Chains A and B, each alone.
Chain A
């Protein structure tokens, strides 16, 4: 923790620069992409990168402060990154009308069912374990 000189300066830079941290996270995504491709994993590169960062954090090889600010920025602006996918609607004018309404009904009712079943399962299990398992 108390190394002096250039190492300390590098550490300081990493802990304080949002831009550097965004670069680090992007680098992990890039490596994840490459690894997923090379090993033919059916998992997106971002998830491989996430697993790598998590492993480094849990093993104590990486300080959470060297990626925390960058991560907060990315997560806070995540909705922006979803926008381009919606633009695919430009190529699907057939969805304007009855077909679109039907699809919307499928998605809305399905999502309601998913949310209710997931939340009730987790809540009931959490209540059950907190009652039966002493912590």
Chain B
């Protein structure tokens, strides 16, 4: 009756099952989102929800899942390289506005860290969690790097980054309707700074220019924070 008897434990099934389930659910989720455009139906929310339900049903752990599906996450590397193309195609806009974007990234990054620190303190979260929450506005590889540098737990940070992405993409869309933003520059920066890669994907739905600005802002934020991390670590350890 149970799947175990059907040879579910065999390595070949394990290697194929989770990636197939991930891609299958993702394609379904994308169809659903194309039909009903609701923020809670975003593929980034629906796909993990279905997968988590399935994994809990089958009693699978994270390592079981990752054994077969880790290569899907590796594709984020080439996807980062791919951001060179929209940035190249919008190089004129960027050349004209790089100072403004850099200032936005500086302000955004500081706000991210200060707000996470303050809220975590107010709610009485432990020091470990608080440190792991600080870099959550960056894209995953940067965030994990910074988290390790400042003494947080990189695997926890990865989860917080994802939650930020899922809700950030939705919140960002809402914010765009509330804030009186005139420039595509500001719309792209809002999504790229607030929700990293997921925000950049959302920005691409809104417009070409928004998409490339969001991608650039995401990369800028990551670079700036990685460079600032040693100084930040020094400050957090009571150096100042």
A interface residues (Cβ-Cβ under 8 A, vs B): 22, 25-26, 28-29, 32-33, 42-47, 49-51, 53-54, 57-58, 64, 67-68, 70-72, 74-76, 78-92, 95, 99, 102-123, 125-127, 129, 135
| A110 adjacent to B48 (CB under 8 Å) | no
A113 to chain B, nearest CB (A): 4
- New A-B contacts (18) at CB < 8 Å, excluding given A28-B78, A90-B60: A42-B149, A46-B80, A49-B80, A71-B84, A78-B197, A82-B140, A86-B51, A86-B52, A87-B66, A89-B48, A90-B52, A91-B62, A109-B119, A111-B137, A111-B171, A114-B115, A121-B103, A122-B186
Q: Residue among B78, B167, B181, B197 with the most chain A CB within 10 A? A: B78
**Residue on A with the closest CB to B22?**
A83
Question: At the interface, yes or no: B12 with Cβ under 8 Å from chain A?
Answer: no
A-B contact pairs, 20 of them (CB 8 A): A26-B78, A29-B78, A33-B77, A44-B222, A50-B82, A64-B88, A75-B211, A80-B47, A85-B158, A86-B52, A89-B52, A107-B133, A107-B164, A110-B136, A115-B168, A115-B172, A118-B107, A126-B97, A127-B183, A135-B96
Contacts of B103 in A (CB 8 A): 121-122, 125
B:203-231 near A, CB below 8 Å? 204, 211, 215, 217, 219, 222-223, 226-227, 229
Choose one: A29, A79, A99, A122; the contact of B198 (CB below 8 Å): A79
Q: Residue among A80, A84, A87 with the most chain B CB within 10 A? A: A84
CA distance A91 to B73 in the complex (A): 17
7 nearest CB pairs, A to B = A46-B80, A118-B108, A44-B141, A123-B186, A71-B82, A119-B190, A115-B194
Choose one: A43, A88, A106; the contact of B62 (CB below 8 Å): A88
CA distance A84 to B67 in the complex (A): 11
Contacts of A67 in B (CB 8 A): 82, 84-85
| A83 adjacent to B72 (CB under 8 Å) | yes
**Residue on A with the closest CB to B169?**
A79
Residue-wise, chain B 186-198 has the 8 Å CB interface mask toward A (1 for contact) of 1101110111011
Contacts of A71 in B (CB 8 A): 81-86
Choose one: A29, A117, A123; the contact of B77 (CB below 8 Å): A29
Question: At the interface, yes or no: B61 with Cβ under 8 Å from chain A?
Answer: yes
CA distance A120 to B103 in the complex (A): 11
